[in-house]
C-alpha cells in the first residue's frame, strides 16, 4: 500500500463545520457518502439514458473552413459550442444547433502572441476569453478574445504538464498538473508533486496549491525507457481526476480512496473506495464520468504493468452507476434508444458543460459502421444516413431530468 493524504487543519475544521450543519445545504450535491467496495459484485443493470435524460444530437456543420479531426476538446455554454482540434491547433465555434460560426488559429509564430500547439483550453463565457495552455516546455497560458485577438500572456513560475484547466472565479483558474519538470524530459528529472491541484492567477500566473496533499502519487500511466536508444515511451489509461460541476469541481485522484467535491473552498467527501488493490504493480484506479444532482457514474480500472514487454496489461473497466437518491449502486451498461449496441464512454476533454449534462461524440466512420451493422434506429440513424465520409463528428448531449 503506497498512498496517503494530508489536508490542512483549516480545511478539516471547515469540512467538519459544514457537514455538521443542520440547516439547508448551499450545494446541490447530496452529502450522503457513497461507499464502493471494489471487490464486491454489484447487480448488473442496463441503463437507457433516455429514461433519465433528454437526449439531443448535434451534427456539427462541415464545410471547407470547419473540417475537424473526429476527436477534439470541447466547451459548451447554453448557446455556444467551442471545439479545439489539437491536430490542426485551431479553435472552432458553433451555435447550439451545430451551425458553424467561425474559428481561428493563432499557432506557430514567433511574435509571442501565438501558441506553439493547442493542447488544452478553457473558456470564460462572461468575459468572452479563451485561455490556451501552451505545452509544458513553454509553461505559459495565452489569452484571446472570441475573435482570436491576443489579449495577454500568463507565464507560469515552473514547468508543469496541465491535464485539466478550468475557470475557477474572476481572479483564478484551477488546474491539475500531472507532472512538473526541473530539468530535461528524460524520464529522470520529472517530479511527481505532492500538491498536483493548483489555483493559477489569471493575471500574474502565480500558482498556489488547492489544500490537498498527496504524499505518494499514483498515476494512470507508466513511462518506459529504451536502454539502447534512450527513448521515453508513455502508455496511459487516461483516467480523468477532475470534473467541473455547476458549483464546484469533482476531484477523483487515483492516489486517494475518497472522491471529493471541492466547493466554496471546502473538500466535501462524495464517495469512498474500499478493498482496492494497491500493490506496487497492481492498482485499482477510478474516475468520475459524470456527476449530476442525482446520479454519479464512476469508472473503475485496474492498472497492471508488464515491465518485460514495456506495456500495460489489458483489464476490462467497470462502470458503477450510483443513484444518490435511493443509494442504489449497480454495475451499469449504458444504452441510448437509437443505438442497439452499448454506449461507449470514451474520455474527451470537456472544459465546460451546462448543469446536469453529459456529452460524448460519435465519429462519422463509427456511425457508418453502426449503420452497416444495423445497430442504429430513429433520429441517430437518419443523421448517420445523411452524413458523408468527411463530415464532422456528431455530438450527443444528455440533459438529466430533475
pLDDT at 384 over 90: yes
- Average pLDDT rounded to a whole number, residues 141-150: 97
Which long-range contacts (C-beta less than 8 Å, at least 24 apart) are formed by 188-194?
192/217, 192/219, 193/217
Give this prediction's pTM.
Answer: 0.86
pLDDT for 4 beyond 50: no
Domain coordinates of the chain in residue numbers?
5-18+32-400
Share of the chain above pLDDT 90, in %: 63
CA distance readout (Å), 161 to 85, 139, 140: 19, 8, 11
N-to-C CA span, the chain = 40
18 pLDDT exceeds 50?
no
Query: How far from 278 is each of 65, 221, 287, 318, CA to CA, in Å?
Result: 49, 15, 16, 17
DSSP class of 115: B
User: What is the pLDDT, as a whole number, of residue 16?
Assistant: 39
Burial class (CB in 10 A: 0-12, 13-18, 19+), 300: buried
pLDDT band of residue 218 (cuts 50, 70, 90) is confident
Q: Are 150 and 144 in contact, with CB atoms under 8 Å apart?
A: yes
* CA gap 151, 133 in Å, rounded: 14
Rounded CA-CA distance 219/255 in Å is 8
- Please report, for residues 28, 46, 327, the alpha-carbon distance to residue 293 in angstroms, rounded to integers and kept in the order given: 6, 21, 13
> 62, 134, 28: which is closest to 387 by C-alpha?
62
* CA-wise closest residue to 260 among 31, 37, 25, 20: 31
User: Which residues in 187-206 are b (16+ Cβ under 10 Å) and which e?
Assistant: eeebeebbebbbbbebeebe
Per-residue pLDDT of 312-360, as tens digits, reads 899 999 999 999 889 999 999 999 999 999 998 876 677 788 888 999 9
Alpha-carbon distance of 220 to 253, in angstroms, equals 10
> Mean pLDDT over all residues of the chain?
86
Which pLDDT value is given to residue 20?
40
With a pLDDT cut of 70, the percent of the chain lying above it is 88
Domain at 5-18+32-400: CATH code: 2.120.10
- Please report the pLDDT score of residue 347 as a whole number: 65
Q: What is the DSSP letter of 203?
A: T
Tell me if 29 sits within 8 A of 293, measured CB to CB: yes
Half-sphere exposure at residue 219, Cβ-oriented, CA atoms within 13 angstroms: 19
Amino acid at each position: 500500500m503506497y498512498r496517503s493524504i494530508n489536508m490542512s487543519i483549516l480545511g478539516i475544521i471547515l469540512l467538519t463545520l459544514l457537514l455538521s450543519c443542520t440547516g439547508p445545504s448551499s450545494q446541490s450535491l447530496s452529502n450522503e457518502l457513497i461507499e464502493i467496495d471494489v471487490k464486491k459484485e454489484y447487480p448488473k443493470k442496463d441503463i437507457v439514458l433516455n429514461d433519465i435524460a433528454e437526449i439531443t444530437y448535434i451534427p456539427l456543420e462541415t464545410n471547407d473552413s470547419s473540417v475537424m479531426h473526429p476527436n477534439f476538446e470541447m466547451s459548451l455554454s447554453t448557446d455556444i459550442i467551442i471545439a479545439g482540434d489539437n491536430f490542426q491547433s485551431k479553435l472552432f465555434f458553433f451555435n447550439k444547433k451545430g451551425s458553424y460560426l467561425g474559428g481561428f488559429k493563432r499557432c506557430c509564430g514567433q511574435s509571442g502572441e501565438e501558441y506553439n500547439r493547442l493542447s488544452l483550453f478553457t473558456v470564460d463565457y462572461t468575459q468572452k476569453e479563451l485561455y490556451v495552455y501552451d505545452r509544458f516546455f513553454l509553461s505559459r497560458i495565452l489569452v484571446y478574445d472570441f475573435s482570436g485577438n491576443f489579449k495577454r500572456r500568463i507565464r507560469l513560475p515552473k514547468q508543469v504538464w496541465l491535464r485539466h484547466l478550468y475557470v475557477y472565479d474572476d481572479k483564478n483558474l484551477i488546474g491539475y498538473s500531472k507532472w512538473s519538470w526541473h530539468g530535461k524530459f528524460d524520464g529522470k528529472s520529472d517530479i511527481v508533486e505532492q500538491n498536483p491541484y493548483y489555483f493559477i492567477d489569471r493575471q500574474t500566473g502565480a500558482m498556489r496549491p488547492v489544500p490537498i496533499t498527496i504524499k505518494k502519487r499514483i498515476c494512470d500511466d507508466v513511462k518506459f525507457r529504451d536502454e539502447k536508444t534512450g527513448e521515453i515511451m508513455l502508455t496511459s489509461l487516461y483516467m480523468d481526476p477532475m470534473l467541473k460541476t455547476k458549483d464546484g469541481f469533482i476531484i477523483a485522484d487515483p492516489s486517494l480512496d475518497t472522491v471529493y467535491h471541492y466547493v466554496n473552498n471546502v473538500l466535501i467527501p462524495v464517495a469512498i473506495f474500499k478493498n482496492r488493490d494497491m500493490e506496487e504493480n497492481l492498482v485499482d484506479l477510478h474516475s468520475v464520468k459524470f456527476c449530476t444532482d442525482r446520479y454519479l457514474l464512476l469508472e473503475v480500472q485496474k492498472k497492471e504493468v508488464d515491465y518485460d514487454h514495456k506495456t500495460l496489461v489489458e483489464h476490462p473497466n467497470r462502470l458503477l452507476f450510483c443513484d444518490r437518491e435511493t443509494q442504489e449502486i449497480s454495475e451499469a451498461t449504458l444504452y441510448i434508444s437509437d443505438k442497439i449496441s452499448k454506449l461507449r464512454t470514451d474520455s474527451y476533454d470537456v472544459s465546460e458543460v451546462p448543469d446536469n449534462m453529459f456529452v460524448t461524440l460519435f465519429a462519422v466512420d463509427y456511425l457508418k459502421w453502426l449503420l452497416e451493422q444495423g445497430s442504429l434506429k430513429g433520429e441517430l440513424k437518419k443523421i448517420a444516413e445523411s452524413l458523408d465520409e468527411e463530415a464532422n463528428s456528431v455530438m450527443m448531449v444528455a440533459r438529466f431530468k430533475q
